[in-house]
Each structure stands twice: as structure tokens, then as C-alpha cells.
Amino acid sequence: MTSPLLAHVDLQAIRDNVALLTDRAGAAAVMAMVKADGYGHGAVPAARAALAGGATWLGVARQSEALQLRAAGITVPVLLVITAPGEAHEEAIAAGIDLIAGSVGIVQEIAGAAKEAGRAARVHLKADTGMSRGGAGQGEWPAVVDAALTAQASGLIEVVGLSSHFACADEPDHPSVPRQLAGFLEAVEFAEKAGVRPEVRHLANSAAMLTRPESHFDLVRPGIAIYGLSPAPQLGTFGLRPAMTLVARVAMAKRVPGGSGVSYGHSYTTARETRLALVPAGYADGVPRHGSNTLEVLAAGKRRRIAGRVCMDQFVIDLGEDEIEPGDEVILFGPGDHGEPTAQEWADAIGTISYEIVTRIGARVPRAYEGLGTEERGSPGGPRRLD
């Protein structure tokens, strides 16, 4: 544990959060979203912890992420939620990855790749019910359903899912939420009347699954909540426990006179003679530069504000009269057990969301996994549902 900066990841917390979500999901299955390296927590360990907690599906956003899960021996259904045109879809199909299609062009591209792979592609059709991001709009939906049924009749694809995504589920009273629900019901009804027999209909992200049981359908897709962060912080924590604690070790400490300018640009000046400590964590590690002179950390038993600019590899804190030694721990954020800020507090302080705080913790920061017994780690989880 000598790394100057370490992200501790509590796999027991991920498992417990997913168990809580699985309970809240009722009859619906749970797809744990582990895209973006498991929101910064590590995709494979997060996936295993989520499967141990009751998830039976996984979701990712890049083909490389899907293949990484398969390479780790994880065999449960994996949905790739963005199908990028021109990509080698046959590799995903050969690995038994489920693909999203929201346009006739993508349905046809997937069908062509399935021919190459020599195996039917498992496809989830996506309707745009009001987010205006991915998915087929109302006007294009009939053509997408038709193209999918044609490809299915040729044995090239199997339509296993019907899906959509909420724009404002984190504001449960937003009028778009019931509108999107109604739009999804219409899209499902249309597809089913046309002859689609989906294995799963799915719509809900973390916020929707926690605030709108009528959005659960057959499968829910929580992401941020499995990592213990609230999808709708104004409504509380929902009993979730943050899984990541970011800990640095003081690189050096020294006394400086009053009136000393600190860090680039001298945007902080010491008020009097004081002790400064150098914390080896910077924007290359994911500490937002926006947090200069703003974000707090826990050091020597108290909250301290970052003094001056966050640099690429380090920042400075001002200890005043307090003692701190090189090697002492500084907690940047965590679950709050020791009085440290949470990722949510960091997000609030700089006008972003907790998602961005944890996801941007950089690749050079080692992750230390804790809290899930080796017997759970050994089993990639879940019954084999493909092939």
C-alpha cells in the first residue's frame, strides 16, 4: 500500500447496493451498467461484485468493454448500448454480445456482420421516446421493426429486447417522464403487434428504477446506484453506500512564511506563517482543476480546502498550526465515514454530477479491491445464459 494515490474500491458495498436494487426491482431482472471501466471502479471486479449481488445482465458502451468482460470469463448476457457504424460487429456477435439497433441502417449492418460471424446476432431495438439521443423516433420505428423482422426471418438476428432511455428521470416530477413511459408502451405495443416477441423490455436507469416502479418492465439498467452514489441527490441516498475512497499520501510538508503565493498563478496566498502539505493527486489523476481553491479533503483529522491551483500531478493544502508528516494519509473523497467529503459533495462544489467525479479517476491510479471474499471473486457469476 505504498502508492502515493490509491482508489480503494469496496466490492462488498457494490454487492450490497446491487442486492438492494435487485430487491427494489421486484420481478424485473437487473442489468448492472459497468461501462467506462465500471464508472471508474474497474469493470471486471465491479461486474463480479454486481453478479454476486443479484444482477444477471451487464451493460457497456464500447465493444472493447464487452470483449474485456468475456475475456475475463464472464458469460452472462452483456448488452452493448451503442452500436457504432463500421465497427467489427462480427467480433461482438461471435462473443455472444447483445447489440442495440435504433435505425434501419444499423439493423442491416448487424445482419451483415451476423452472416460473417456465422451466428445470429442478439439485438435490442431502441426507440427514442423523447431524449433525442439514440434510438428510432416515432416516424422511423415501424421501418426499424420491419427491417428487424426481415433479418430475423432470414435467421441473421434474433430480436431479444425492446428498449428506450429517460432524459429526466432524476427529476421524478418532470413532465417528460410520464410522456416517455407512454411513448415506450406505444413502441412496445407496435413492435409486438408486428410480431416481435422480446425476451426483455427495458427502460429504467438508476433514477427511474428507484422512483418509478412502473418503469421496471422486465429488466432495469442501474449504473451510478450500484457504485453507491445517488442518481437523484435531492431525494437522498436511497440507502446506497459509496464504493470508492480516494486516498493519497502526503509527499512532503513544510513551513512557509505568511504572504507566500501557492501553486501556479499564486491564486492562494498564505495568511500567516503556516504548514503546507503536498498531495500527489492532480488533474491527470482525475482531480478536477475546477476544484482549485474549492474542493475539500480530509487531512490530519480535519477538512482542508485545496490551496491554489490543482496541478497535473499534485495540489497543496494549508494545515495552519497542525502537524502532518510525509506519508500521512489524506482522504480526498469516500463514503464519509471519517468525515471526508463524498463524491457527491465534490460534484456539488464544482457544479457537476458524482458520475463525473468517480468516472474520471485516471487509469494511472491503482485500484485496491476490498471486501468480497475470494470464493465470490473466483466465480464469474450467474448461470450461463448464452449459446
Report, in Å, the least distance between residue 221 CB and ligand PLP. 4
Give the contact letters, 24-63, x = binds to ligand PLP (CB under 6 A), - = no: ---------x-x----------------------------
Report, in Å, the least distance between residue 238 CB and ligand PLP. 12
Residue with smaller CB distance to ligand PLP, 134 or 288: 134
Residue with smaller CB distance to ligand PLP, 31 or 306: 31
Report, in Å, the least distance between residue 218 CB and ligand PLP. 14
Query: What SS3 state is found at 293?
Result: coil
Give the contact letters, 97-136, x = binds to ligand PLP (CB under 6 A), - = no: ----------------------------------------
Residue 165 touching ligand PLP (CB under 6 A): yes
Burial of 259 (0-12, 13-18, 19+ CB in 10 A): exposed
Look up residue 41 and give its three cell numbers. Answer: 471502479
Of 296, 385, 300, 303, nearest to 348 (Cα)? 296
Name the residue whose CB lies closest to ligand PLP: 223
- Per CB under 6 A, contacts with ligand PLP among 186-245 are 205-207, 221-225, 231
Report, in Å, the least distance between residue 121 CB and ligand PLP. 18
Which residues lie below 8 Å from residue 17, measured CB to CB, with a gap of 6+?
A: 53, 225, 226, 227, 228, 240, 241, 243
- Per CB under 6 A, contacts with ligand PLP among 69-88 are 81
Of 87, 17, 129, nearest to 371 (Cα)? 17
Residues labelled as active-site residues: 35, 264
What residue ranges bind ligand PLP (CB under 6 A)?
Answer: 33, 35, 81, 165, 205-207, 221-225, 231
